[in-house]
Structure 1
Amino acid sequence: MTGPVRTCVGCRRRALNDELVRLVVAHGELVVDERRRLPGRGAWLHRDPACLVKAERKRAFPRALRVPGPLDTSAVRAALERLATEE
Structure 2
Amino acid sequence: MSGRTHVGSCPERMCVGCRERAAKSDLLRIVMIGSECVPDDRGTLPGRGAYVHPAVVCLDLAVRRRAFPRAFRARGPLGTAGVLHHVQRTAQAAP
Shared fold per TM-score greater than 0.5: yes
Secondary structure, counterpart of 1:82 in structure 2: helix
Query: Partner of 2:5 in structure 1?
Result: none
- How many residues are aligned here? 87
Partner-residue secondary structure (3-state), 2:58: helix
Identity of aligned residues (%): 47
Give the structure 1 partner of residue 43 of structure 2.
Answer: 36
Partner of 1:15: 22
TM-score, normalization by structure 2: 0.86
Q: Which runs of 5+ in 1 are unaligned?
A: none
RMSD: 1.3
**Structure 2: gaps of 5 or more residues:** 1-7
TM-score by length of 1: 0.93
The structure that is helix-richer by fraction is 1
Of 62, 66, 70, which residue of structure 1 is paired with 2:73?
66
State the 4+ residue runs in structure 1 displaced beyond 3 angstroms. Answer: none
